[in-house]
Copies of this chain bind each other. A is one copy, B any other.
Amino acid sequence: MNGNQLIGNSESAEGGSTFNAINPGTGETLEPAFHEATQGEIDKTLELAKEAAPFLRNASGSDRKRLLDAIAEEMEADAEAIKDRVGAETGYPQPRLDGEFGRTVMQLRVFGKVAKEGDWVGPRIDTAIPDRDPLPKPDLRRMLVPVGPVVIFGASNFPLAISVAGGDPASALAAGCPIVTKGHPSHPGSSELVARAVLRGVEKAGFPEGTFSMLQGATNETGKALVEHPDTSAVAFTGSLRGGRSLFDIAAARPNPIPVYAEMGSVNPQFVFPGKLNSDPSQFAESLFGSVTMGNGQFCTCPSMVFVPEGEDLSKMTDRYLELVGESQGAALLNPGIANAFSQGVDQWKSIEGVEVLGEGTLEGTAVGAAPVIAKVSLEDFKKNPEPFMHEVFGPSTMFVACPDADSFVEASESFDGQLGSSIHCSNDEVSSASELIGKIGEFSGRVCINSFPTGIEVCDSVHHGGPYPATTDAQHTSIGTAGISRWGRPISFQGTPDELLPDELKNGNPLGLMRLVDGKWTRDSVS
């Protein structure tokens, strides 16, 4: 680890400006210093990526799987060093480090499988009818092809799973796109160690220089230069609304606009029906507390707002939650910026009419961090002006909204803009009465959970981690799960093309055995 930019097979450190990571637990500055990427380095990186694009585009799904598996192996070979550095840069406890490392390696392998299976290109074939009256029907065949070099901004809160070798890079490589990653400035050392593992995997798999590069940077200018670069075809980002919107605006203002897939978080409202609460108010408080304090609240899907009917059960639930808050000593937050924003957010809560902060934990033994905070407001006061409640207080915060009854949930739900995940908690007897609310929260949510919290996202085919703005900048795509690969493809149709010139995915013989829509029927059969 030396703080250099890793540009294909070469390293450089041209930038005069440098930055260091800090250990949020101890407050200590970590070595080495990392250099801000220069425009010249950015140009060189994108040039290499552009040169590598044809190789990746033409690489078979099996080749891409070999690449992703090789990266996974190289990650595993360096697992301890990587996890140690991530721990030092984030303050995450060992189980979280192990869990996130495991998920990251798993994602690489899952996307290798997706690449090899190949169904993601969505092949469609309409065969010719040369003697159709009045005009012959041409042979048309359609599939997704890779969009080209993708720039990926690593997240602060998932230094492995949503970063340099996370779900965004894994899906982009699986799709056949070269990638340029920018490590998050909170954990540049983690980014460098992971990037070195990725580069070893690229070399081992025989993929060209330019398949992968990693640049460091802590300024908005570096991000802007990456998004503005003419050879950048698409962008992935996970972070704040302000950061994501800024990159979106830069991309939209380009001479040729490009897509920015920004996942920007949300408050993820929870609606708790009385029967569910009544069955065990303490247990509900414990589950909620567990979800809110996962990663010390630094999950995009943290359930920050909880709508609960007023009454004795709410009191019991609150009492238990307050106990847990009181017992908590808090934990590290990723960087001083997040810690400041958290205390400012709590201060802003306090300034809203009707909001009462019921309890705040006491932070102990951590230099940069936060302890859980719980506040309460009545539905009436919430409805007077819901807007300030829509700002995510990123960290272990919870706002209880005391409602007259469950019937008021539907109207309450109308205040929400785009959300990543919303939940309904109800007893079996209440399921049918929750039907209208499910429809309502489906209108603004990417994921609707029944009797579970949105944290702990399953990486699978059926998950959608996205949602209408401001949860993301593109409601059609997910940043987690196998469907995320479709961000990196665009359709192309071949008309009247001889079989030998078609990609394997579209050849008559279906050599890859794909599921294809042939003359209106889904089939794995060859075309006769």
Residues of A near any B CB (own CB < 8 A): 54, 58, 119, 124-126, 135, 137-138, 140-142, 145, 147, 248-249, 252-253, 256-259, 417-418, 421, 431-432, 434-435, 438-439, 442, 445-452, 454, 456, 458, 460-464, 466, 468-470, 473-478, 483, 489-498, 500-501, 515, 517, 520, 522
Contact = CB atoms under 8 A, between A and B. Distances in A.
Contact of A431 (B257, B442, B448, B498): B498
Given A490-B476, A493-B448, A464 B142 contact: yes
Given A448-B494, A451-B496, A498-B431, A517 B461 contact: yes
19 contacts: A124-B461, A137-B458, A248-B252, A256-B418, A257-B469, A259-B476, A431-B498, A432-B500, A438-B497, A447-B493, A449-B495, A450-B494, A462-B493, A475-B490, A476-B489, A477-B491, A478-B491, A515-B522, A522-B522
Contacts of A522: 119, 515, 522
Contacts of A435: 501
A493 to B, nearest CB: 4
B468 A124 contact: no
Copies in the complex: 2
Given A431-B500, A469-B257, A497-B438, A142 B458 contact: no
A37 to B, nearest CB: 26
Nearest to A447: B493
A117 to B, nearest CB: 9
A140 B480 CA distance: 13
Given A434-B501, A448-B493, A449-B496, 17 more contacts: A54-B439, A58-B439, A124-B462, A125-B462, A135-B456, A137-B460, A252-B253, A256-B417, A259-B476, A431-B501, A438-B497, A448-B492, A450-B494, A450-B495, A450-B498, A462-B517, A476-B490
Nearest to A434: B501
A462 B121 CA distance: 12
Most chain B beta carbons < 10 A, residue from A137, A439, A458, A478: A458
Contacts of A257: 248, 252, 469, 473
B142 A462 contact: yes
A256 B470 contact: yes
B446 A126 contact: no
A126 B462 contact: yes
Contact of A145 (B442, B449, B494, B498): B442
Contacts of A418: 256
A476 B253 CA distance: 19
Minimum-distance CB pairs A-B, first 6? A252-B252, A464-B493, A140-B462, A449-B495, A124-B462, A475-B490
Contacts of A137: 458, 460
B495 A491 contact: no
A463 B493 contact: yes
Nearest to A477: B491
Nearest to A451: B496
A142 to B, nearest CB: 4
Most chain B beta carbons < 10 A, residue from A432, A477, A496: A496
A58 B438 CA distance: 13
